[in-house]
Amino acid sequence: MTAQPTTENRTAQLMDGSAVARRIVERTAARSAALVESAGVTPCLATVLVGEDPASVTYVKMKRNRCAKAGILSRHVPLPATTTTEELVATLTELSADPTVHGILLQHPVGPHIDERAAFEAIAPEKDVDGVTMRSFAAMGFALPGFASCTPGGIMRLLDAYDVDPTGKRAVVVGRSAILGKPVGMMLLARDATVTYCHSRTRELSSLVREADILVAAVGRPEFIRGADIKPGAVVIDAGYNEGNVGDVEFAAAAERASLITPVPGGVGPMTIAVLLEQTLDAAERLSGTSA
C-alpha cells in the first residue's frame, strides 16, 4: 500500500492492521495446510494462563480463535492463581520438551508472586514464538534470525505494508518495556532510523515528540500524546490499549496532522496476533525439519 503524500491540514490515512493481519493469517493457514500435507505435522501453540484475570482470559481466547483460523491447534493450559514460580517453570519445561507442541505462549502479566523472568526463560528458545526470552531479545538486538517480540514485529510489518522506510527518519518511541518499547526501538534502529526513547523520567517529552517522523506510543495511558504535538506528515503508531477502546494518542487531533495513523482498535492489536501465528508456523516448520 502506498502512503499518502505528506501535507499539512489533511486527515491521515488509516493503517488498517486488521486487513494486513488478515492477509498474514491467510498465508499462515496455507503454510499450515502444506505442512500437514507434506510432513503430517499440525502446528500447535500451547497457551499458558495463570489465574483468571478477565483481560488475560479475553486475550488468550482471541489468540486461540485466531489459531483455529490459521489451521493451528491450540492447547490451553489453565493454571490456578496460586501457582508458584517452580510449578509454572515445571509446566513450561514440560511443554518445551513435548514434541507435539511447536510454540509456547505464556500470557502475561503472571501476577506479582511469580518470577516472570524465570518463567519466560523456561520456554525453549526454539518454541519462543512470543519472543520473550533473553535469547530472542539478544537476537533482535544483533539483528540476527530469531523470534521477534510479537507487538514490535507487528509494528514493523505494518510499516512495511504501508511502504514506510525508516531509513534516516527520526523515530521517537514513548515507552521502554521489554516486550514493546525497547524492542521496537531496536528494530527501528536496525532499519537505520535515528531512535529516541522516552519514558517516565524524560524531560520535555512534548518537544521530543514534535520531532518524530515516526512516533510509536507505548505508554498505557489514554490519549497521553497530544495531537498538537504530532509533526505534520508524521507516521503515528499507537500501540496503547486502554479501557473503552482508547489508545495512547489523542486520535482525532493527531489524524489532522499525521500522514498515516493506526486506529485503536484495528491497528497494532491484530498485527500482534498475526505475528504470533506466523512465528508458530516458522517454529513448526523448523522443528519438523521442513523449513526452506
Q: Does 272 bind ligand NAP (CB under 6 A)?
A: yes
130 is catalytic: yes
Q: Which of 31, 176, 191, 257 binds ligand NAP (CB under 6 A)?
A: 176
Residue 77, number of CB atoms within 10 A of its CB: 18
Among 176, 161, 268, 166, smallest CA distance to 213 is for: 166
Secondary structure (DSSP) of 139-200: HHHTT-SSPPPHHHHHHHHHHHHTT---TT-EEEEE---TTTHHHHHHHHHHTT-EEEEE-T
Phi, psi of 10 (to 5 degrees): -125, 160
Q: Does 56 bind ligand NAP (CB under 6 A)?
A: no
Q: Does 239 bind ligand NAP (CB under 6 A)?
A: yes
The least CB distance from residue 209 to ligand NAP, in Å, is: 10
User: In 3-state terms, the chain is what percent helix, strand and coil (to 5)?
Assistant: 40, 15, 40
* CA-to-CA dists, residue 98 to 103, 210, 265, 291, angstroms: 10, 50, 35, 20
Q: Tell me whether residue 40 is annotated as binding.
A: no
Catalytic residue among 16, 63, 279, 282: 63
Q: Which of 6, 56, 85, 177 binds ligand NAP (CB under 6 A)?
A: 177
Q: How far apart are CA 185 and CA 141, in angstroms?
A: 10
**C-alpha grid cell for residue 288?**
519438523
Q: Does 288 bind ligand NAP (CB under 6 A)?
A: no
Q: Tell me whether residue 18 is annotated as binding.
A: no
Q: Which of 72, 104, 123, 179 binds ligand NAP (CB under 6 A)?
A: 179
Q: Tell me whether residue 247 is annotated as binding.
A: no
**Binding-site residue total for ligand NAP (CB under 6 A)?**
25
Sheet of 103-106: strands edge to edge?
73-79, 44-50, 103-106
Catalytic residue among 16, 128, 130, 213: 130
9 in helix, strand or coil? Answer: coil
Residue 196 or 242: the one with the smaller Cβ distance to ligand NAP is: 242
DSSP count for the chain of H helices, then E strands: 10, 9
Q: Mask: binding to ligand NAP, 186-225, rule CB under 6 A, as x and -?
A: ------------xxxxx--x------------xxxx----
Secondary structure (DSSP) of 63-93: HHHHHHHTT-EEEEEEE-TT--HHHHHHHHH
The least CB distance from residue 268 to ligand NAP, in Å, is: 4
Q: Does 180 bind ligand NAP (CB under 6 A)?
A: yes
141-170 residues in contact with ligand NAP (CB under 6 A) are 151
Residue 56 or 202: the one with the smaller Cβ distance to ligand NAP is: 202
Interface with ligand NAP (CB under 6 A): 151, 174-177, 179-181, 198-202, 205, 218-221, 239-242, 268-269, 272
Binding annotation: 175-177
Binding annotation for NADP(+): 175-177
Q: Tell me the catalytic residues.
A: 63, 107, 130
